[in-house]
Structure 1
Amino acid sequence: MGNQLCISSDSHVVEPAEFFEPLQELFGDKAPRMVTVDPARGPQLDLGNGQLGIGLSGFFMQNVDFTTPEAAKLRRLGYDLARPGCYDVQERLKDQDLDGINAEVIYPSVIFNVYQIENLDIVKATFSLYNDWVADYCKEAPGRLFPLASLQLFDLDEAIQEMERSKKLGHVGASIAATAPPDRLYSDPYYDKFWEAAQDMHMPLHWHIFTGATPNHGLPFRQAGSALSFAGIMFTVADIIQSGVCERFPGLRFVVTEFETGWVGIMLKRLDWAYIRGGGERVFGLPLLPSEYWKRNFRVTFEDDPLGIMTREFIGTSTMMWGSDYPHGDSIFPHSQQVLSEILSDCTPEERYEMTVKNVVELYNLPFELEGPSQASVNSIPTPAVKTWRNAMPSRAMMAPATPGS
């Protein structure tokens, strides 16, 4: 690829079933573990508290047409669906090359729902085990894989210690629950020493879809789960901004991951409207508009969100980071460059450079030399067209703004 760069800000490992075995030795039946309760759904994570996590098979079902009967059969296969690159780092690097990608920021998969376990000792042990495991995985490909730690926030002193330990292991940031416990929202001053520590360590904090402290991101209906999950994270963002967290910690960075981006513009417009109409700094005690805090303190990832791209001038291309979501069912692997060429076709070279290279390198201080917009013109190895669930979605042309007389 020469000096050209394309970096996924949102990619994943998928924890193997044996990952959980040390936890079972420590906590017995209360430990999280992989089970198959419904063969039609395939393996799921048993949280050890009577709850089941999201199904495993979807983590491997990239390029699958979910509208077909065959898709239902695939769910039964579980780990047998995994690409070799999910566990063999050298095979993963081949997949990066196939997709025109130089590096990936790495999130977990199976442990997403561990934030909903009430036993704090189990949560701590699970996250500590994961932080070690994924650091070892990424060390096999220095300069290509950059891990994020997972942290609990019920014991802040231990959370800060684990964040510091994880940074020494090579983690470039940390994930926390996307929605806070309802009895202790992120606006609570209780969290201030953690925000301060993250700011001082230059550790961005991440809210990934499906990681809420309560099921369904705090939303009342399961049907809204993934389709409207951004409604839950909108509250988290608004709570952080309006409570003054961003004002008190100007160097703190939050990353909103895999909720796409089309909702951000209307959220910011409404927050700005409420701030101005409600009396501004005199009433809220905040000198900046909510949209200004967003542009300073927040980043948001997208995969193939043309509606979000249309709002880029308002929400700021400096806040947007592209990710492939490899190897999940929502992933655009191995067609990332084709998809980027389509959804960014109206963007300037500078805008594409920001969203696929510059923002992610600067946020995580990745070891790449930034040279300018010409770096963002990356071509992947040609791949054949594949029918997936995206073929059933409206085309980008159908999402274009209406013109007079149309």
Structure 2
Amino acid sequence: MPKMWTNSGDSHFLEPDDVWSSRLSKEMADLTPKSEKDPDGEYETVSVDGQTFRRKLPTSAAVQFVEESHKPQGVRDPHARLADLDKEGVWGEVIFPSLGMWASTFRTPELLQACMRASNEYAHEELAPVSDRYVVTGQVSTLRVEDAVSEIEWLAEHGFKAVFLPTTPHPSAPDWHRNDWEPFWDVCDKANIVPAFHIGTDPVDMTAGGAGVVYRGPGGAIMNYTETTFSGQRAAMKLVASGALDRHPNLRVLISEGGATWIPFLGDRLLEGYRQHQQAVRPKLSRDPKEILMTQVYASFQHDETAVAANEAMGYTNVMFGSDYPHMEGTFGHTQKTLEGLFADAKPETTKRITQGAFYELFPDVPPVPESTDCIEA
């Protein structure tokens, strides 16, 4: 079968280990995240910003699966990455950071702000220039709102089109529905920067075992994986209910890797609450909350069998495919098989919308998928 080309609203890049330490003063570099594994490889000791934690590492079977079965060449090499994408049939992609997932463990504003700037300089100098197929997300510190505003202004000046945001800000900062963030949304709106929330980025309690550990015992692995998607739904809910998106009707946001079918359901729930509890609702919105959610929030998925139905049967057209390259829950190594299964019975216009159309609404500067794949980059 001819290759089915898609864009991706979700992928990741592993920065050099010294991307922060090499660009900071020695005093600050000594406080950046570092880990030391036990000889048996079962636990590691993590130090970050003057704090020390111990956590259990993934099982050896899981590590072996990643190392031996999934061997993408472009995890650390942005040039080799293009060959991986071409093999999979992925054209343009949103690229999230990896080190940025540590942000919620910092406690010193000046240190985190310096690390975010170092990451952004690296992305601007080493990643973005490699290909105009890459939508590289910038990063901001959410320890203090004013630091986030300052950094989003820097990102706007340097041509970034997306900014990675955790689904919940740092615990010391106001939550996303607070008006404190209005200057931030203003800059994103005026600079056409897409706030891109990635699931699984709620603040991390390292003492509880680190990111993703909520439940233990029977079913824990499945429950923990499922739990990660809820934070993206909450982020969307906050931006709609608080009026942030209503005040910025041209601002569009992306919730990556959290699926898509939840959008129509959440819209129904928001609308019911707004209508049935009208007397208590503040602020009043100029449009109903479901309309705001359905038109201004885009959602990416990788395997969801219901994603096509969200578009065709539920009227939610801002569904976007995401490969989650190179993570083990993503589609690397079987993207074409996954696409064939997802869109086997879909209307051609639905397939085009989910694989390409929604992506280009957010990122029109990415070149179109060429009619002839002979002209792909090597």
Same fold (TM over 0.5): yes
Q: 1:263 offset after TM fit, Å?
A: 3.0
2:176 alignment partner, one of 157, 162, 186: 186
Alpha-carbon distance in 1 for matches of 2:261, 2:46 = 31
Which residue is equivalent to 2:225?
226
The 1:30/1:99 distance shift into structure 2, 3 A limit, reads same
Structure 1's 318 and 378: CA in aligned 2 closer, same or farther, altered over 3 A? farther
Counterpart position of 1:9: 9
Structure 2 match to 1:207: 197
Q: Deviations over 1:183-221 (max 9, x none)?
A: 622121111111111111110101112322354899965
Partner in structure 2 of residue 106 of structure 1 = 95
Deviation digits for residues 236-261 of structure 1 (CA, Å, limit 9, x no counterpart): 22222111111111122221111222
1:191 and 1:108 mapped to 2: Cα distance? 22
Check conservation: 1:103, 1:145, Cα contact below 8 A: yes
Could you list the runs of 5+ residues in structure 2 that have no partner in the other structure? Answer: none
Is 1:26 matched with 2:27?
yes
What amino acid sits opposite 2:76 in the alignment? Y
The CA deviation at 1:147 is 0.5
Instruction: Determine if contact 1:146/1:170 at 8 Å carries over to the other structure.
Output: no
- Whole-angstrom distance in 1 between the partners of 2:314 and 2:53: 37
1:3–1:342 CA distance, 2 compared to 1 (3 A): closer
Name the residue aligned to 2:85.
Answer: 96
Deviation at 1:89, TM superposition (A): 2.9
The residue number in structure 1 matching 2:244 is: 245
Alpha carbons of 1:337 and 1:40: their partners in 2 closer, same or farther (altered >3 Å)? same
Match of 1:165 in 2: 154
Q: Post-superposition shift, 1:110?
A: 3.2
Query: How many residues are matched?
Result: 361
Aligned to 1:323: 322
- Residues 40 and 73 of structure 1 are in contact (CA less than 8 Å); yes or no, is this contact kept in structure 2? no
Give distance in 2, aligned partners of 1:218 and 1:87: 24
Counterpart Cα distance in 2 of 1:54 and 1:161: 37
Q: 1:233 to 1:44 in 2, by over 3 A?
A: farther
How far is 1:24 from its partner?
7.5
| Superposed CA RMSD | 3.6
Q: Which amino acid aligns with 1:347?
A: A
Q: Residues 80-111 of structure 1, C-alpha deviation per residue, up to 9 Å, x if partnerless?
A: x8643222333211111111122222111233
Task: Kindly provide the CA deviation profile for residues 280-327 of structure 1, in whole angstroms up to 9, marking residues without a partner as x.
Answer: 898761232222011222111111111333333466443111111111
Structure (1/2) with the larger strand percentage: 2
Q: Secondary structure at the match of 1:10?
A: strand
- What does the per-residue CA deviation read over 1:104-123, in whole Å, with 9 as the maximum and x for residues that have no partner? 22111233131331211121
Q: C-alpha distance in 1, partners of 2:287/2:125? A: 42
Q: Which amino acid letter does the alignment assign opposite residue 267 of structure 1?
A: L
Work out the CA distance in 1 between the residues paired with 2:107 and 2:47. 13
Partner of 2:36: 35
Residue 120 to residue 353, structure 1, CA distance change in 2 (3 Å): same
* Counterpart Cα distance in 1 of 2:243 and 2:225: 29
Question: SS where residue 19 of structure 1 aligns?
Answer: coil
Q: Secondary structure at the match of 1:11?
A: strand
Q: Secondary structure at the match of 1:50?
A: strand
Cα 1:195–1:309 change in 2 (3 A) is same
Identity of aligned residues (%): 21
Question: What one-letter code is carried by the residue in structure 2 that aligns with 1:35?
Answer: E
Structure 1 portions without partners, runs of 5+: 58-65, 380-406
Give distance in 1, aligned partners of 2:212 and 2:3.
44
Between 99-108 and 279-288, report the one with greater CA deviation. Answer: 279-288
- In 2, the alpha carbon distance for the partners of 1:70 and 1:260 equals 27
Q: Is the 8 A contact 2:140 2:151 kept in 1?
A: yes
Aligned to 1:141: 130
SS, match of residue 301 in structure 1:
strand
Structure 2 partner of 1:261:
260
Normalising by the residue count of structure 1, what TM-score does the alignment of the two structures yield?
0.77
Letter in 1 for 2:21: E
1:50 aligns with 2:49: no
Shift in CA distance, 180/314, structure 1 to aligned 2, threshold 3 Å: farther
2:288 alignment partner AA: L
Could you report, residue by residue, the CA deviation over 1:152-185 in whole angstroms, capped at 9, with x for unpaired residues? Answer: 2344444233223224444221012211356622
SS at 1:104 equivalent = strand
Residue pair 1:173, 1:203 contacting (<8 A) in 2 also:
yes
Pick one of 14, 38, 62 that aligns with 1:71.
62
Match of 2:287 in 1: 288
Aligned 8 A contact 2:117 2:151 in 1:
yes
Per the alignment, residue 358 of structure 2 pairs with 359
Q: Taking structure 1 as reference, are residues 283 and 159 closer, same or farther at Cα in structure 2, changes over 3 Å only?
A: closer
